Chain A
Amino acid sequence: GEDVEQSLFLSVREGDSSVINCTYTDSSSTYLYWYKQEPGAGLQLLTYIFSNMDMKQDQRLTVLLNKKDKHLSLRIADTQTGDSAIYFCAESGGSQGNLIFGKGTKLSVKP
Chain B
Amino acid sequence: EAEVAQSPRYKITEKSQAVAFWCDPISGHATLYWYRQILGQGPELLVQFQDESVVDDSQLPKDRFSAERLKGVDSTLKIQPAELGDSAMYLCASSPGVSFTDTQYFGPGTRLTVL
Binding site for B on A (CB under 8 A): 4, 30-31, 35, 40-45, 48, 88, 90, 92, 94, 96-99, 101-104
Contacts and interface: CB of A to CB of B under 8 A. Distances in A.
Given A31-B100, A41-B109, A45-B105, A94 B45 contact: yes
B55 interface: yes
B100 A30 contact: yes
A99 B109 contact: no
Given A96-B55, A97-B99, A103-B41, 19 more contacts: A40-B111, A42-B6, A42-B106, A42-B107, A42-B108, A43-B43, A43-B106, A44-B106, A45-B105, A96-B98, A97-B31, A97-B95, A97-B97, A97-B100, A98-B33, A98-B48, A98-B56, A102-B42, A104-B42
Contacts of A40: 108, 111
Nearest to A44: B106
B43 A101 contact: yes
Given A41-B108, A43-B91, A97 B102 contact: yes
A17 to B, nearest CB: 24
Interface string B4-27: 101000000000000000000000
Contacts of A97: 31, 95, 97-100, 102
A72 to B, nearest CB: 14
Contacts of B85: none
Given A99-B45, A101-B43, A42 B100 contact: no
A96 B32 CA distance: 11
A99 B44 CA distance: 8
